[in-house]
Amino acid sequence: MQSLESDSEAEVALIIGGGPGISASCARLFAAQGMQVAIAARAAQKPVMLELEAQWGVRCYTCDAQDPSSVEKLFGEVTADLGKPRLVVHNIDGRMEGIFRKSITEVDPDLVLQVIKNSAFSAFLVGQQAARVMADNDEHEDGHKGSLIFTNASAAFKGYAKSAAFALASHGKSGLAQSMARELMPQGIHVAHVPIDAAIGWKRNDGTRAHWLAGEAVDDNMADPDQIAETYLYLHRQHRSTWAFEVVLRPWLERW
């Protein structure tokens, strides 16, 4: 495996939401492409982050993404350690135990608020800091100052029954991304929104893929996080004459 050597000229990528799926795949791919990669989570010492640090030279940071001061501190630390990020991925969808399969008449209002804070509000905080940092970035030859990518779920455009909290949070994140794209893209900052209409099959040590709830991946019926990461890299490298705002990803077998 390729580890990253320090290079002051390398692009800096920051991933918020450290886990073994999309975030880990992005971290490995970005590092393999020569970027200096930072990844942040509430628990920076979780096994997947320690592995990324040891094998890929990824810098790990502690951040509570729903706390404004914690997010501001994260961007300050990453900028001081590695340089100003040119690629920021917000990969927190806010889902938590107790929000699904709950009737609107029985869902816990405190849980609803917590889901919104985990998802849409944390996306706002990350987006705000990314916009402030990228606004001061030097322009590439094509005028590109950086990319901000928001991971979302199919609940961004489909409000499922008995899933009010998640639909509310996901729709909020979608609206935030759209507003930011309209504001920031004319300033040279590419904002992309990626709803993933699928279960995501994480790779295990034996090479097979599975989802904690949906079971084993069979015949590519689940989204592959490595392929999602490739899409994110492609979005970051798009020419500004053809910037994509929204890319919906779903396996070939997924019903719309």
- Residue that is written with structure tokens 């790990």 in the block: 60
Q: How many residues does the chain have?
A: 256
Number of C-alpha atoms within 13 angstroms, CB side, residue 116?
13
CA angle 246, 154, 32 (to 5 degrees): 60
What does the buried/exposed string (b/e) look like for 191-219 if buried means 16 or more CB atoms within 10 Å of the residue's CB? bbbbbbbbbbbbbeeeeebbbeeeeebee
Rounded Cα distance, 206 and 229, in Å: 20
In this prediction, residue 135 carries a pLDDT of: 94
Fold of 12-197+230-242: Rossmann fold (3.40.50)
Rounded Cα distance, 26 and 5, in Å: 17
In this prediction, residue 99 carries a pLDDT of: 78
In this prediction, residue 100 carries a pLDDT of: 78
In this prediction, residue 2 carries a pLDDT of: 34
User: What number of H helices and E strands is found in the chain?
Assistant: 7, 9
In this prediction, residue 211 carries a pLDDT of: 59
In this prediction, residue 142 carries a pLDDT of: 74
Rounded Cα distance, 93 and 151, in Å: 7
CB proximity list for 158: less than 8 A, separation 6 or greater: 167
**What are the domain boundaries of the chain?**
12-197+230-242
Block means of pLDDT (10 residues each) for the chain, length 256 residues?
Answer: 47 94 96 98 90 96 97 98 97 80 90 93 98 90 90 92 92 97 97 92 68 64 91 96 96 86
In this prediction, residue 209 carries a pLDDT of: 66
Amino acid identity, position 250 = R
CB proximity list for 129: less than 8 A, separation 6 or greater: 71, 72, 74, 75
Rounded Cα distance, 204 and 18, in Å: 17
In this prediction, residue 95 carries a pLDDT of: 78
CA angle 91, 55, 38 (to 5 degrees): 35
In this prediction, residue 199 carries a pLDDT of: 80
